[in-house]
Chain A
Amino acid sequence: MTTVTGKAEVRRRLPPGRFGVLRKIWEHRADYAYVLPAIAVMLVVIAYPIYYTIELSFFKTPPGLQLRDKTFIGFGNYTAILTSDVFWRVTWNTVIWTIGSTFISFVLGFAAALALHRDFVGRGVLRAILIIPWVISAVAASYIWKWIYHSDFGIIGAVLVGLGLADRPPNFIDNVSTVLPSLIVVNIWREFPFAMIMMMAGLQTVPDQLLRAAEVDGANAWQRFWHVTFPHLRNVSTVTILLLAVANFNSFIIPWIMTGGGPSNASHIWITHIYELAFGRQRWGVASAYSVLLFLILMTLGYFYVRALSGNDRKEGSP
């Protein structure tokens, strides 16, 4: 309970009447003014679109945005999706993309945070350089890497040929079997700094005394990490992993600009697929049904996210 002022204290001590909740809302009416702008914007830009998407997912829609001519078809769009081959292909890609990017970004970011934790000459500069990919736009990143992977003039191909590891530059992103890993490398390049910043912040909260005590007790570096540092970072880690997972699940720009989902759907993930269905092929109904399915998955992830966050709060003792 956060105590605010004497007045609020008195207010709270009044016995709750029959209309306890309404009365409380009325008494706190001034407080809502502070959150009103935020909530109003959210309602317009979030609640309405969600409602509209759910509605549209039950309709067959004509191409173009002449949505007055839509016809109700119940769960038709959903059955069409779940029985198509593309759906399973794209879902599998999404799983690999999300888990691969999240796991590797987190491990690299965490390791970098640990390596940067001890002070040394040039630490600040190194840290700044490692963070830059996270700041620059994904569009720029996509173009930079597209150029690096270029099948004729790319630098990686040239290095491989120069070292005698390949006869001619390999084709990274026009090849069904290498395209997804190649894009994941780009995604991790942009994302590990976020994990690094979060874990650096987390590391600062690990009490030094505990580490020193463990040291005196004869714990080696690994034991100190595993038994002292890591348990302290459990909450930050959970939040970081969840945020990364959600961001990866929702990513669009890198696959869209680098490959547009090709070749033959090998780099399509859910979001790029939905975008293509809606804005490319103008199948709004099917795209909406996809969005609703996506929404359900995200709500499940969101449940864990909120639980991780409120777990943090409860430990403090204040809601």
Chain B
Amino acid sequence: MSTIAETASRAQTRRRVRVDGWRWGGRIFLVFMLLYTAVPMIWMLITSIKSGFAATQFPPQWWPDEPTLASYQKLLDPQNSVGQDFLRFFWNSLFVSTATTILSVIVAVPAAYAFSRFSFPGRNFLFFTVLLRNMFPAVIFLVPLFILMRAIGLVNTHGSLILTYLTFGLPLAIWLLKGFYDNIPVQLEQAARIDGATRFQAFILIVMPLSTPGIIATAIYSFIGAWNEYIYAYTFLSKNEQLTLPVGIQRFFSENTTDFPGLMAASFMMSVPVVVLFLVLQRYFVRALTEGAVKH
């Protein structure tokens, strides 16, 4: 008895010494990662409140002598042409991303449910086909899709983007949701059906509420993906009033490349909606990944 206790306590002291080394290593590493992650973002913010003159000094002003919100005022003022463009791009991005998100959920939920619950012939084949979509770069699809969109009259419309974005959000959405449905006991639905609910009612009343975190995660993923997408928007849209933010900002600032405060302010405002959305809902996202993707 006593020897066991002795060994255990010895193991514990030995452990404490070692773990402290690891823990300090971990702390130093985290500080390094924090700097790597945060410094670029902080520098973006500091630059965005400088004047064009203050930004182009060497050595740089670490904190601007005269902080100014002029860049933000210019971008958000509907009276001048810069502000008009920026606000229109912002609205376009919001519209395209929201529409994509709603459609993704509507299409992905039934598909994921079917992949989880039913065993119809070709189920595995179809499931992996859907997953394989993740493998292919946008560029492969650009030329044929451009021709296709032109044939069905969608070039230069937001419809072309929504239809395209739908497909690259879907694979992960279906995969995540399938994991969720796999973990919801079938017995719950069976009980509901014994009580006289139809399959559809059981789905809406029992399964849907239980999979809310998965649906929220799916929605965030689709929204962020659509908000940040660049290459299709860059190729499909040419009219200035149709552009979404990433392309709009690029077009805008390739014309006057020296306005770094303006560019940083625009980058910051483009990031705000998705960052806020993600921070508010991130626990759902991490949970969905744990339950959906990892545990399986």
Contact = CB atoms under 8 A, between A and B. Distances in A.
Interface of A: 1-5, 8, 21, 24-25, 28, 31-35, 37-39, 41-42, 44-46, 48-50, 52-53, 56, 65, 67, 108, 111-112, 114-116, 118, 126, 128-133, 135-140, 143-145, 147-148, 150, 152-153, 155, 158, 161-162, 169, 189, 192, 197-198, 200-202, 204-205, 215-216, 218, 220-222, 236, 239, 243, 246, 249-250, 252-253, 257, 271, 274-275, 278-279, 284, 287-288, 291, 294-295, 298-299, 301-302, 305-306, 309-310, 312-313, 316, 318-319
A136 B126 contact: no
B140 interface: yes
Interface in B40-63: 40-41, 43-44, 47, 55-60
B30 interface: yes
Nearest to A202: B294
A249 B8 CA distance: 50
B130 interface: yes
B152 to A, nearest CB: 9
B142 to A, nearest CB: 7
A132 B37 contact: yes
14 contacts: A1-B119, A5-B199, A28-B120, A35-B110, A35-B126, A37-B110, A45-B167, A114-B26, A115-B29, A118-B26, A135-B274, A153-B260, A302-B132, A305-B135
B282 interface: yes
Interface in B259-296: 260, 263-264, 267-268, 270-271, 274-275, 278-279, 282, 285-286, 289-290, 293-296
Given A145-B40, A298-B135, A312-B296, A42 B264 contact: no
Given A143-B267, A158-B60, 19 more contacts: A28-B121, A38-B111, A45-B145, A45-B167, A46-B167, A48-B144, A108-B33, A112-B33, A129-B34, A137-B270, A140-B268, A148-B43, A153-B57, A153-B260, A205-B294, A250-B137, A252-B231, A278-B139, A306-B128
A285 to B, nearest CB: 10
Contacts of B199: 5
Contacts of A302: 132, 135
Nearest to B260: A147
B138 A250 contact: yes
B110 to A, nearest CB: 4
Contacts of B134: 243, 246
A192 B116 CA distance: 31
A57 B33 CA distance: 45
Given A132-B275, A137-B227, A205-B294, A155 B132 contact: no
B201 interface: no
B294 to A, nearest CB: 5
A29 B59 CA distance: 71
Nearest to B25: A115
A130 B41 CA distance: 11
Interface of B: 7-8, 11, 14-15, 18-19, 22-23, 26-27, 29-30, 33-34, 36-41, 43-44, 47, 55-60, 106-108, 110-111, 113-122, 124, 126, 128-148, 150, 163-164, 166-167, 170, 174, 182, 186, 190, 193, 199, 224, 227-228, 230-231, 235, 245-246, 249-250, 253, 260, 263-264, 267-268, 270-271, 274-275, 278-279, 282, 285-286, 289-290, 293-296
B271 A136 contact: yes
B43 A147 contact: yes
B224 to A, nearest CB: 6
A178 B170 CA distance: 38
Contact of A189 (B37, B57, B119, B143): B37
Contact of B249 (A35, A114, A139): A139
Given A221-B15, A221-B22, A271-B139, A306 B59 contact: no
Chain A to chain B: the 3 pairs with minimum beta-carbon distance, closest first: A34-B114, A250-B137, A137-B228
Given A53-B144, A158-B60, A275-B139, A41 B167 contact: yes
B253 to A, nearest CB: 8
Nearest to B277: A135
A222 B39 CA distance: 31
Given A162-B59, A197-B289, A253-B231, A41 B11 contact: no
A53 B140 contact: yes
B170 A205 contact: no
A206 to B, nearest CB: 11
B137 A38 contact: no
A210 B134 CA distance: 35
Which has the most chain A C-beta neighbours within 10 Å: B40, B126, B235, B245? B40
A291 B267 contact: no
Contact of A115 (B27, B132, B133, B164): B27
B60 A153 contact: yes
Given A4-B186, A135-B274, A288-B143, A204 B290 contact: yes
Contact of B140 (A37, A144, A294): A294
A107 to B, nearest CB: 11
Nearest to B19: A221
A46 B136 contact: yes
Contacts of B18: 220-221
Contact of B264 (A33, A46, A144, A204): A144
A42 B130 contact: yes
Nearest to B117: A4
Contacts of A291: 139-140
Chain B CB within 10 Å, residue with most, of A8, A153, A295: A153
A313 B296 contact: yes
A137 B56 contact: no
Contacts of B44: 144, 147
